[in-house]
Amino acid sequence: MGPKGTSRRLSARAIEKMIEKYAKGFGKPSLSVHKLRHSFATRYHAEINDVPKLRRQLGHSSIETTMIYTHIKNEDLKTAISKFNMPKE
């Protein structure tokens, strides 16, 4: 709370401390804001597959930065490669 009961935004550090507190309380002390961000980006990418929208959600200025947060599964890579493997005639 701010002065005289007015509300204020939470700082980045305050959010980190809350995540640390509740992660420990739920028996997940290694959980962090950074891991939550990666998990969000990976799931968003897997379900929606729209990198420009994900870039905006994460607040990045470049797609290259966003791609660091997306994890492509080995099965997805195998499927993509198998599409290029044409049967020999």
pLDDT at 63: 86
- In this predicted structure, what is the pLDDT of residue 5? 77
**Residues near 36 by beta carbon (within 8 Å), at least 6 away in sequence:** 19
pLDDT of 6? 81
Q: Which of 3-7, 9-13, 43-47, 69-73 has the highest mean pLDDT?
A: 9-13
Inform me whether the pLDDT recorded for 24 exceeds 90: yes
Question: Within its chain, how far is the Cα of 78 from the centroid?
Answer: 23
How many whole angstroms separate alpha carbon 71 and alpha carbon 74?
Answer: 9
Decide: 67 and 50 in contact? Cβ < 8 Å.
no
